[in-house]
Structure 1
Amino acid sequence: MASAPQSQLPLFYQALEPLSSEAHANYKLRPADKAKFVVGQHAIPLTVDEFTLVQRYMPIVFTVGENPVPIGLMGMNEGVNVFVDNEGGFAQNGMYIPAYIRRYPFMLAKLHPDAQELSLCFDPTTDLIGAFEEGEPLFEDGKPSEFVTSVLKFNETFEEAGARTGNFMKDLEEMGLLMDGEVTIQQEGNEQPFIYRGFQMVNEEKLNDLRGDQLRKIHKNGMLPLLYAHLFSLSLMREIFGMQVTQGKMPTPELQLQA
């Protein structure tokens, strides 16, 4: 059976297998109200389409190094996610859940490095898909079910949003708007502050200094609201920190955030 390349698998995925009407004819997706795969994951990839929704719940920052990407912080330290319990249940009813989480265990991937098209795949190690008696059927009469059709559409939309995100990040770098981020939080009762680094953010001073063609560009292409959504969300770092305190998930002082 053909399988997608297994090297450098994205976050959450342990393996990838193309969905097949022959191999998975009787497979179903088991209903689940928990996401155990998110437990302990403090940073989740985002698309620019989500910025205005995510900014209400979690800080939006950018990774360091080559090819930075936007991420939503669900915790201020590695191994900490303040939005899910130990079983993967979401603590806040009605909160926005990033599309990256919602697409699991499916994703579009190339079956071969030189393939021109993306194929709908799933993580075969998940306990959400299998030959179950109950659940959403993946195939009906040898054809993709309506559910699978909707999953495919969702993943296609996600890939399109990913392309827009790539263009957004390219523009940010070309305009030199990214800078190393740092936040210092002083907790009452601790002599040493908690210092978080290891992420990037938009340089607000440079943003305000944009003039001429660059300023017209970010107005025309819709970047400006996204940039301010990111900047407004940064105030939530202290709120996430407070949630860690409340939940007893505090690290030792002076640990760096690894975005």
Structure 2
Amino acid sequence: MTDHAQEQEMEIEALEAILMDDFKEIDPSESGVSTTNRCFQITLSPQEDDLDASNYTPVQLALIFSHTEKYPDEPPLLNVKSIRGIKTDDLNMLQEKLEGEAYESLGMSMIYTLATSAKEWLHEKYGQNVLDEVVEEPASTKDDIIIPHGEPVTTETFLAWRERFEAELALERAKLMPESALTAPKDKRLTGRQWFESGRAAAKGPTTVPEDSEEEEEIDFDDDFEDDDDEMLEHYLAQKSEKSAEESKN
């Protein structure tokens, strides 16, 4: 013979251990079921298990039950209430669903199974709305420039830097030019690049071309003078050093 009272007590102890704060005993007058027996409430929300329901619960359901005298050989008394955000029509639908599942589970402890079914229904019905309301951090815009250190680079600061750099470069080139290049008439005055290239060509000597060659050798100045700013300075210092050596001999 089945000891219904003992089986019911064991089920309550198991539910307390599994559900903890989501499980509590309530006054029968607050249960919404017609009984004077002990009544219990399970609080359910549509969140997944990895979400913190205590911090974000826009929708919550109360599953209320009370054991009958011959439970689990007969269904428990059930009631569902909206704690927050659940429509009355949906509650009626869920109530009918759970009562049908209770009859299918006769002969075994079923409260946890019914609670799991209610939670799944709640997630299907309201879970997507909950996820849509989660506030996400704004993503960085495409125009943002992230620099680990220093000030952010903007178009204005880059143009200002480039203008200052070109001015300093022009000044250095002017210092490297011989005085004759600077005092010559404007239309005959050499640019820094022309002066440097002529000096390099003289240092290398004339380029010989075989008599039977039909094409003259082409010099790619873009490659030869890719680093002309640094080489101009080295060339000038070398000439200055040779001039100083000659003066010391005389």
Decide which structure has greater helix share.
Answer: 2
Greater RCO (CA < 8 Å, at least 6 residues apart) = 1
Larger Cα Rg: Structure 1 or Structure 2?
2
* TM-score w.r.t. length of structure 2: 0.19
Decide which structure has greater strand share.
Answer: 1
* TM-score w.r.t. length of structure 1: 0.18
